[in-house]
């Protein structure tokens, strides 16, 4: 989680306000809109680490993502909310400033969690490590949206991409094992890049499961 958040911040430091207004990899969102969405996640992290649960956990870092499919209920409403929320800031750089102070706070709070802790979020109870893994995946996938082909940006962290691969393998039920890099796998398994015919041939019937999450 820390590596994923730090990587986002490092790339944000390279962006000017006009560059923040450019479209992101999320249809209908600018980069600033996307960052506001990530900011909401960092704020949720602060709330969650302070919301201990009695347990037991009812989901893990893989099954947590099962409802998050393309076109899932509530996606359109959230997309509108994010656009309106981001527009309420004085400037897009103001969102960057809020992220820059919130993300490290979330990381510090997460570091204080006991390894055996369980926490409550979004109607679920998760072990602390599983919750932090979901945050890393969210930040990593949306970091790809932030980069969206911009070669001047470094993109997601190695640890973030690694936990994303582990999550996607869990959703698929087996390692994809088709020669993709972690980055390619994240893009194709989330519908951000299309499967090619060779991809489909190597995946076989598993290709029908893609995208694994939206």
Q: Which DSSP string corresponds to 156-180? A: S-HHHHHHHHHHHHHHHTS---SS-
pLDDT at 76: 87
Q: What angle do CA 46, 166, 184 make, to 5 degrees?
A: 105
Q: What is the pLDDT of residues 170-208, one digit of tens each?
A: 999 999 988 999 999 999 999 999 999 999 999 999 999
Distance between CA 8 and CA 155 in Å, rounded? Answer: 8
In the prediction, which pLDDT does 141 show?
A: 98
pLDDT of residue 68: 85
The answer to whether residues 81 and 89 touch, using CB atoms and an 8 Å cutoff, is no
The 8-class DSSP code of residue 126 comes to: E
Tell me, what DSSP letter sits at residue 129?
Answer: H
> What residues pair up with 210 in beta bridges, in sequence order?
none
- H helices present in the chain, as ranges: 2-12, 17-20, 31-49, 75-87, 92-111, 128-147, 158-172, 182-189, 197-203
CA distance 30 to 33: 5
pLDDT of residue 75: 78
How far, in Å, CA of 196 to CA of 210, rounded? 12
142 touches 26 (CB < 8 A): yes
The per-residue pLDDT for 72 is 66
Q: Which domains occur in the chain, in start order?
A: 2-158 (1.20.120.450)
User: Dihedral of CA 129/39/70/26: which sign?
Assistant: negative
Low-confidence ranges of the chain (pLDDT < 50): none
């Amino acid at each position: 989680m820390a590596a994923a958040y730090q990587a986002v911040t490092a790339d944000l430091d390279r962006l000017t306000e006009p560059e923040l207004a450019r479209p992101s990899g999320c249809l209908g969102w600018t980069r600033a809109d996307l960052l506001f969405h990530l900011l909401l996640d960092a704020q949720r992290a602060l709330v969650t680490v302070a919301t201990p649960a009695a347990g037991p956990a009812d989901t893990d870092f893989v099954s947590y993502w099962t409802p998050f499919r393309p076109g899932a209920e509530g996606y359109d409403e959230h997309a509108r909310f994010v656009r309106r929320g981001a527009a309420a800031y004085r400037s897009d750089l103001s969102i960057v400033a809020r992220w820059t102070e919130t993300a490290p706070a979330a990381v510090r709070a997460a570091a204080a969690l006991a390894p055996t802790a369980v926490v409550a979020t979004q109607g679920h109870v998760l072990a602390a490590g599983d919750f932090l893994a979901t945050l890393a995946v969210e930040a990593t996938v949306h970091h790809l949206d932030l980069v969206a082909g911009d070669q001047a940006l470094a993109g997601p962290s190695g640890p973030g991409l690694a936990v994303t691969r582990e999550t996607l393998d869990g959703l698929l039920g087996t390692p994809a094992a088709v020669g993709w890099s972690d980055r390619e796998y994240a893009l194709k398994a989330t519908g951000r890049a299309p499967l090619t015919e060779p991809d489909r041939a190597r995946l076989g019937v598993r290709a029908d499961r893609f995208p694994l999450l939206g």
